[in-house]
Copies of this chain bind each other. A is one copy, B any other.
Amino acid sequence: MVPAEMRPRRRADAERSVARIVSAARASLSRDPDATVDDIAKAAGVGRMTLYGHFRTRPELVETALIDALHCGEAVLAGIDLSGDAREAMTRLLTSSWSLVAESTALLTAAQKVLSAARLRELHAGAAQRVEQLIRRGQQQGVFRTDLPIVWLVNAVHYILNGAAEENRAGRMETEDVTGVVIATVQSILAVPPSEARATV
């Protein structure tokens, strides 16, 4: 709530602790949405009380972790060239940030239990919109399908990313294989299906 600039100055070690806690929270929560405050503190290598010194409640911590992941996502997205052929742009996007997007989505579901729906929409709107715009541009270029609702296409991509991340965690897919599988699957979902292609001609 309070802008970072207005809070009383923090000491350097406090800054480091907070960073480690947020990082641990992102990792723990995206792995297990029900991760305990104690789990996160242990993962961060700090005491539970130290954590409570920086975050008053668990929901506040979850929200901070989600915001952090979304900001990272925004930053990475901003650095990717999304112009040109939408299919190639999507491949670039997935190659460089599928794990980040998957993490954000997992965090989002973790946050659904503790944050209000309105707050969630507010936070997630930006991130999802970038993907949606890319898909929309692909549709205008005629390389992405238009026979399914765009909301579904956006979310289907997220479900696939999440699923691939989970397969990887569960040991059913090697980390080095994920990128290729994700790209192939997503491109198949977004591509113009044969039936529609005929209709378009």
Contacts and interface: CB of A to CB of B under 8 A. Distances in A.
A156 B148 contact: no
Number of copies: 2
Interface residues of A, number: 27
Nearest to A153: B185
A72 interface: no
Nearest to A117: B170
Main SS class of interface, A: helix
Contacts of A172: 151-152, 155
Contact of A185 (B34, B156, B177): B156
Given A159-B160, A159-B162, A159-B163, A173 B188 contact: no
Given A149-B173, A151-B173, A152-B164, 9 more contacts: A34-B34, A149-B177, A151-B172, A152-B172, A155-B167, A158-B163, A159-B163, A160-B160, A187-B193
